[in-house]
Structure 1
Amino acid sequence: MSRFPELQELMSGNGEFRNETEEEHPGLVEELAQGQHPKFAYLGCADSRVPETEVFGAEIGDLFVSRNVGNQFNIDDLSAETTISYAIAHLGVQHVIVMGHYGCGAVQAAIASESDEASTDIGEARIDTWIRPIRSLFKSSNHSHIVAFREAHADDETIAAPNRTEPAFRALVEENVKQQVRNLADDSSVLKVSLSSPSTELKRSSSSGEEPVELWLHGWVYDVDTGLVTDLGVSVGPSGSADSE
């Protein structure tokens, strides 16, 4: 371990985590060892600046998590599909949260011209393939900021990666979250059944036994400049109804 002092920092941090958790929540680790009962499933970006537990001030055991580059949900992504399906069908989560963040590198790359290295570098090729759905969203979106940006750069041979304060960039971050909410509601097998059929009763296990729950899907965005989380107001619940709150 002495060869890698940066790893020792992580191990030391684990010691602090154990001490602080036991001090603030005595017995929580032992309790969770018996089983997990998260109320929330979370689909977010893999960006290191958006650690969901810290962002929400949550505790271990609160969130069942799937993260990837650009907080995307695609029908052929077995990992995300399995994570969300397990959270709903076996853990009985009540809320599925999709959260993107301003300054997202995947969204930024989707706006910029495709990298020349994608044809020769396997890593760049994989990244380019992964962000294609976001690139397609950028090209088809009718959001006013995105349309204005496309028109302003229509004659440019190449488009540089935008600054994170660029309105079209921020708008595409939000549009991407909304698209993933739609993808989840339309494509995820368990979610589709749970949201469209009032007769489908979900159960949540708790210390007092099983209790019925309504499933809700939400779209949020995190601001890396301020730490603020904003609800985009695209929540979907039973029978596909929009959240009125």
Structure 2
Amino acid sequence: MLRMSLNPLLTCCLLTVLLTSCAKEQPAAGNASENSSETIGDVKPLVNRVLTQEEQAQLTPEQVLTLLKEGNQRFVAGTLTARDHSKLVREAALGQYPKAVILSCLDSRIPVEDVFDRGIGDIFVARVAGNFENTDILGSMEFACKVSGSKLVFVLGHESCGAIRGAIDGVELGNITAMLANIKPAVEHFKDYEGEQTGQNPEFVKMVTKQNVLATIDRIRTNSPILKEMEQQGDIKIVGGIYNMDTGTVTMLEE
């Protein structure tokens, strides 16, 4: 009888210890969730919901750029924000108010939303091999900023770009020929370069990649009076950066 009465007692004690341990571990998980969210003024953390029009209006171009930089740091560190995608899909169906529009290369190794730790409804993404602008891209950017209220235009180039190498080496194939012609000005910018001017020269490819981003930014301002005026008025900012294929780090370019 004594043995039978002790077993329930021991069981009760063990359950108490286990429950106490679980309760102590829960705050740590909560803190991790808070650290992975972002807050702007009185805006609530954006983890399980999309940005509202009012919150978008409160943002400045500088704040948006800072958020993208911080997001890239989390991407590199492997601490991307946990998001309830099912809930975000439902909320985004009611409208979209993205912070920025990013022009990226077609390269499949650059998951733009993840690179900046952005969720559904956070950013517009335009992609074309070589991350250059054309009429369609400019129209999309104007829609993003003038119509939808985005505060930042970001031209994102990357290392080891096949389109850059193709333009350097004069590749000709179907519609690729005309596409690469958009990158040629960046190649010709270094016509007096004394080193090897081929796609096999990493230094030359890096130089052309950077120049292509800067030239694209210049043409955006030249060919889109709408975006140029918005930037002059401080409503938006137009910037560029280069994605490191080895580390995932985005390095901002100084104009």
Question: Is the Cα–Cα contact under 8 Å of residues 83 and 119 in structure 2 kept in the other structure?
Answer: no
The TM-score normalised by the length of structure 1 is 0.65
Task: Return structure 1 stretches of 4+ with deviation > 4 angstroms.
Answer: 20-23
Aligned-partner residue type, residue 242 of structure 2: V
Distance, in Å, in 2 between the alignment partners of 1:24 and 1:219 is 27
Query: Which of residues 96, 103, 106 in structure 1 aligns to 2:153?
Result: 96
What residue is the counterpart of 1:51 in the other structure?
A: 111
- 1:222, distance to aligned residue in structure 2 (A): 0.3
- 1:125, distance to aligned residue in structure 2 (A): 3.1
Distance, in Å, in 1 between the alignment partners of 2:152 and 2:216 is 15
Query: 2:228 aligned with 1:192, yes or no?
Result: yes
- After superposition, the C-alpha distances for 1:220-244 in whole angstroms (9 at most, x for unaligned) are 110112211100123xxxxxxxxxx
Query: 2:131 aligned with 1:71, yes or no?
Result: yes
Query: What secondary structure is seen at the aligned counterpart in 1 of 2:194?
Result: helix
Larger % of strand: which? 1
Structure with higher Rg: it is 2
The TM-score normalised by the length of structure 2 is 0.63
Query: Which of residues 186, 190, 194 in structure 2 aligns to 1:148?
Result: 194
What residue is the counterpart of 2:9 in the other structure?
A: none
Give aligned pairs, total.
Answer: 176
Identical counterparts, % of pairs: 30
Larger % of helix: which? 2
What residue is the counterpart of 1:135 in the other structure?
A: 184
Distance, in Å, in 1 between the alignment partners of 2:139 and 2:187 is 28
Distance, in Å, in 2 between the alignment partners of 1:21 and 1:194 is 31
What residue is the counterpart of 1:12 in the other structure?
A: none
Distance, in Å, in 2 between the alignment partners of 1:148 and 1:231 is 27
103-112 or 129-138, which deviates more: 129-138
CA root-mean-square deviation = 2.4
Distance, in Å, in 1 between the alignment partners of 2:249 and 2:200 is 22
Question: Is the Cα–Cα contact under 8 Å of residues 45 and 69 in structure 1 kept in the other structure?
Answer: yes
Gaps of 5+ in 2: 1-46, 50-81
Aligned-partner residue type, residue 209 of structure 2: V
Query: What secondary structure is seen at the aligned counterpart in 2 of 1:27?
Result: helix
Question: Is the Cα–Cα contact under 8 Å of residues 131 and 157 in structure 2 kept in the other structure?
Answer: yes
Question: Is the Cα–Cα contact under 8 Å of residues 100 and 151 in structure 2 kept in the other structure?
Answer: yes
Query: What secondary structure is seen at the aligned counterpart in 2 of 1:96?
Result: strand
Q: 1:94 to 1:148 in 2, by over 3 A?
A: same
